[in-house]
Structure 1
Amino acid sequence: MESISKDFAVQLLNDDAQRIMMLIRNQKNSLCISQCKAFEEVVDTQMYGFSRQVTYAIRLGILSSKEGHQLLSDLEKELNQLYSDVYEETQEKKEIGKEV
């Protein structure tokens, strides 16, 4: 059995994190992020799966606990920022609609 380098494993995890971000960014132009419960469930499922991958990498010794938590924290921060941006855009549209 071939060994997997730490850099390769981290790159795979980073690729998965970017895939999750792209999934969400692709929905940014619609109201789905702020109003669609099914979309929230998809994001939760993706995040759970990613957290399990990170946990597995930690258990294998490919990542330290600190590195794993940092990967999860970075993705969560990006997601929270994206949700905040969408919320602000939605609020601005509501305010503009009231003015008309």
Structure 2
Amino acid sequence: MDAITRELAFQLLIDETEKVYTLIDSQKQHLCFAACPAFEEVVDTQLYGLSKQIDYAVKLGVLDQNAGMKILSDLEYSLNNMYTNYYEQNKNHPQFKGE
């Protein structure tokens, strides 16, 4: 088996990160996570898996720990931004007012 280069390992990690961004972006477009409670579980699972991959990459020396933390922080910011935008747009809906 050929040795995996740092660049290839880093690119694989970036590809996994992009998959989570795609998941979040698709929810931004459809705004259906309120009607689909499984979304939170799916995204939490994806973030957890990515965090483990980042930990592994840091241990291998493929990724700096600060860079790994920034990747996760940026994803969490994107997710929180999506939720904030959704609730701001729908805060007057009866579902959120308890009616």
TM-score (norm: length of structure 2): 0.77
TM-score (norm: length of structure 1): 0.76
Q: Name the stretch that deviates more: 61-70 or 16-25.
A: 16-25
Shift of residue 7 of structure 1? 3.0
Runs of 4+ in 1 over 6 A off after TM superposition: none
Aligned pairs (5 A) from 1:9-28: 9-28=9-28
> Could you tell me how far apart the structure 1 residues matched to 2:79 and 2:69 are?
15
Counterpart position of 1:57: 57
Unpaired segments ≥5 residues, structure 2: 95-99
CA RMSD of aligned residues (A): 2.1
Shift of residue 79 of structure 1? 1.2
Shift of residue 24 of structure 1? 2.7
Unpaired segments ≥5 residues, structure 1: 96-100
Counterpart position of 2:88: 88
Shift of residue 39 of structure 1? 1.6
**Relative to total residues, which structure has the larger helix share, 1 or 2?**
1
Percent identity over paired residues: 44
